[in-house]
């Protein structure tokens, strides 16, 4: 899906928040420059966001990005009434303030898409450090970073390095019942928790009553900063999430001495939270994967396909022993799983504990022509590679080896490359000035007719020219 973003610049007068002066790259000492962009798709304006370029930015080095989610009733300029924009500027960070489609949204799928598009646009137009994308939010936006993190685990797209929450609504269904109903949630999720429970679960950082229908597993590698006041009715969201993740997520901070009253951005210390966020960079390639995916998508080095029920999470537990050895401990609500090893080796080893068959996908390249599937050393299947992606049917739990058969025969002098040295060696075999050993005999007789002759030289020349 391609989006076009249309730019213009505005000056935001801090003394008169309702006044916007259209200017292009002009600043004054008593004003703060806010640059505004629109997300436009096929001629339709979908959303608006604003951003701030750090004063010392030159474009030579990649710099962090701080994304701020507004509170209920806010817009793309509301976050400039906090000190986060000033703090970002002092640190040399970009500052992004998305609207998210509505002043009263609750981090629904559409809002997350708008935020993703805004980040991608900044990455395409400025030197943003993709390993240091931080998020912060207050009240309604307080869970924005955590929710975005749980739904965006594909390293090819923006991911969250760390996030901070001020009075965040982390469990939307719990908050719905705490409030005895919520019209904004009904509007953006398409109904009540009884009518569309999965929409509440997939757009929350956690669903406390049922871990199988909860996103919190996906926060294992996302550092969490949580603040609130003593008087807030839903401060238990943060405290309960902290307790739930303790020992699972190794980087969490929660307010140890809450203020007696207050709510949202007024609760969070901009300097302290930014200091805390700045410690971390993105974890996008962990060895252990334990996730609930709300739809077929990629999580680190795995990608799930063929979701069985669209209103339940795809559950995956897996780990990577080394670059060519993987354990699939659990896969539920999906028929197919794609692996992304760092490179294709001659053999990939997979152990699966699932007591049912799954389709396992792997990338392939031109250097391999066939694959063979072995279980406990016995060949059980083989197939040709016909495109860049291959699928292997794993029939049931067990230990498997997937062997890739090279499409290029071994070279006679065994240096790993077909070149003129191989030709010289084979000519010597043909004229009898050298006698091949067993390896050289097999490698030189490319057409496998039992003889090393001119016909083999013809094939060799084609191999060398082709390389």
Give one word for 289, left, alpha or beta, with left for phi > 0 and alpha for psi -120 to 50.
beta
Contact call for residues 152 and 130 (beta carbons, < 8 A): no
* pLDDT for 4 beyond 70: no
Q: What is the pLDDT of residue 439?
A: 79
- Using one digit for the tens of pLDDT, what is the confidence trace for 225-251? 999 999 998 899 999 999 999 999 999
What string of DSSP letters covers 386-434?
Answer: -SSEEEEEE-SSEEEEEEEEESSPPPTT-SSS-SHHHHHHHHHHHHTSS
Please tell me whether the overall predicted TM-score, pTM, comes out greater than 0.95 for this model: no
Residue 1: per-residue pLDDT: 39
pLDDT at position 467 is 54
The mean pLDDT of 409-424, rounded to a whole number, is: 78
The mean pLDDT of 55-75, rounded to a whole number, is: 96
Superfamily of domain 4-277: Alpha/Beta hydrolase fold, catalytic domain (3.40.50.1820)
Domain limits of the chain?
4-277, 288-406, 420-466
CB atoms within 10 A of CB 321: 11
Residue 446's pLDDT is 77
The string of pLDDT tens digits covering residues 308-366 is 999 999 999 999 999 999 999 999 999 999 999 988 888 999 999 987 889 999 998 77
The reply to whether 420-466 shares the fold of 4-277 is: no
User: Which tokens sit at 247?
Assistant: 């020992």
Q: Which CATH class is domain 288-406?
A: mainly beta
Q: What is the dihedral of CA 338, 343, 348, 351, to 10 degrees?
A: -50
Which string of DSSP letters, residue by residue, matches 36-89? EEEEEETTEEEEEEEEE--TT--SSS-EEEEEEE--TT--TTGGGGSSHHHHHH
pLDDT in tens, 199-220: 999 999 999 999 999 999 999 9
Contact 194, 306 (CB under 8 A): no
Label residue 23 by pLDDT band (50, 70, 90).
very low
Mean pLDDT of the chain: 89
Answer for the pair 89, 121: CB distance below 8 angstroms, yes or no: no
Report in angstroms the alpha-carbon separations of 444 from 43, 228, 419, 429, 454.
62, 74, 13, 9, 11
Residue 177 CA neighbour count, 13 Å, CB half: 11
Q: How much is the pLDDT for 32?
A: 59
Classify domain 420-466 by CATH number. Answer: 1.10.1330.10
């Amino acid at each position: 899906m391609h989006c076009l973003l249309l730019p213009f610049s505005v000056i935001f007068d801090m003394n008169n928040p309702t006044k916007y002066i259209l200017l292009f790259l002009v600043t004054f000492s008593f004003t703060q420059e806010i640059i505004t962009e629109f997300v436009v798709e096929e001629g339709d304006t979908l959303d608006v966001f604003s951003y701030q370029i750090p004063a010392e930015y030159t474009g030579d080095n990649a710099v962090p990005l701080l994304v701020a989610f507004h509170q209920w009733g806010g817009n793309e300029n509301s976050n400039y009434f906090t000190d986060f924009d000033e703090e970002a500027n002092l640190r040399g960070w970009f500052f992004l303030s998305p609207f998210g489609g509505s002043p009263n949204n609750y981090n629904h799928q559409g809002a997350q898409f708008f935020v993703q598009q805004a980040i991608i646009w900044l990455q395409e137009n400025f030197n943003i450090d993709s390993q240091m994308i931080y998020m912060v939010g207050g009240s309604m936006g307080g869970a924005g970073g955590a929710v975005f993190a749980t739904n965006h685990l594909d390293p090819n797209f923006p991911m969250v390095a760390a996030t901070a929450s001020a009075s965040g609504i982390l469990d939307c269904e719990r908050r719905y019942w705490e409030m005895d109903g919520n019209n904004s949630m009904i509007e953006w999720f398409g109904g009540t928790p009884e009518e569309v429970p999965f929409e509440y679960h997939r757009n929350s950082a956690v669903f406390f009553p049922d871990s199988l229908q909860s996103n919190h597993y996906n926060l294992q590698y996302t550092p969490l900063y949580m603040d609130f006041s003593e008087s807030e009715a839903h401060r238990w969201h943060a405290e309960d999430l902290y307790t739930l993740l303790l020992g699972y997520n190794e980087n969490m901070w929660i307010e140890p001495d809450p203020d007696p009253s207050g709510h949202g951005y007024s609760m969070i210390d901009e300097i302290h939270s930014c200091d805390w966020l700045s410690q971390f960079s993105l974890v996008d390639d962990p060895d252990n994967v334990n996730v609930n995916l709300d739809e077929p998508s990629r999580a680190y080095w795995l990608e799930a396909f063929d979701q069985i029920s669209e209103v339940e999470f795809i559950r995956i537990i897996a780990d990577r022993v080394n670059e060519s050895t993987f354990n699939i401990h659990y896969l539920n609500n999906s028929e197919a799983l794609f692996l992304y090893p760092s490179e294709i080796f001659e053999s990939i080893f997979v152990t699966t504990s699932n007591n049912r068959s799954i389709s396992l996908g792997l990338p392939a390249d031109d250097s391999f022509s066939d694959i063979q599937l072995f279980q406990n050393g016995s060949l059980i299947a083989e197939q040709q590679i016909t495109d860049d992606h291959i699928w292997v049917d794993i029939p049931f739990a067990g230990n498997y080896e997937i062997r890739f058969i090279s499409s290029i025969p071994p070279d006679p002098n065994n240096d790993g490359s077909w070149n003129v040295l191989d030709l010289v060696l084979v000519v010597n075999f043909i004229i009898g000035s050298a006698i091949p050993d067993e390896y050289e005999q097999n490698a030189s007789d490319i057409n496998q007719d039992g003889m090393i002759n001119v016909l083999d030289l013809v094939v060799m020349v084609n191999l060398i020219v082709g390389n």
